[in-house]
Amino acid sequence: MGRTHDGALPGTTAERRLGGIAGGRTAGGRPARPEPTEEADTVRELRPSARAEGAPARPAAPDQARLWHVVLSVAGESTALSALRAGLERLAHDHSFFLTARYAADHAELRYWEQARDLHDAAAIALRLWGEHKATAGLPPWEIVGLEVVDRATYHQRVAEGFGEPRPQPGGVHPY
């Protein structure tokens, strides 16, 4: 066990003293780091770029949209299966992003891919989907009772590990 040194942090020894923290002092009493200058306020590139000297810097890439797998569950009062199927088919035709839609008289599940910047955007789009298309697609006035949004890597990992619900039938609108 080492002896503590005057000026050492509590619980440390002179040999293990932290001097690189802003405000810390070196053994001579000088600041551990020089005082901030105007240069300290500039942003430095941490990785050397492959561009030639004097070439213009590349503009920052805009936020990239990612693919999200969405499962939207809706439920409500029983409705005629033929009317429900027709409404789901109109929705699938108008919005070709549907992977599958399964339905019963009192509930339905929509599985599809959404392109969005982040999970918040994908979830917000999914939560608006049913309400915004009730009238145009002739959907029943059901409420959203479930939502799952996962990124593409998570979806594929689940499928590879055998977890998650297997696809009932590839694409289209099908009864449970």
- pTM, two decimals, is 0.61
User: How many residues appear in the chain?
Assistant: 176
Residue 41 DSSP label: G
Kindly report, residue by residue over 88-140, the tens digit of the pLDDT.
999 888 876 777 899 999 999 999 999 999 999 999 999 999 998 888 999 99
What is the reported pLDDT for 175? 83
**150 — phi, psi (to 5°)?**
-130, 150
What is the reported pLDDT for 27? 53
H or E, element range at 149: strand 143-151
Kindly report, residue by residue over 15-69, the tens digit of the pLDDT.
444 443 444 444 555 544 444 444 444 444 444 444 445 544 444 444 678 999 9
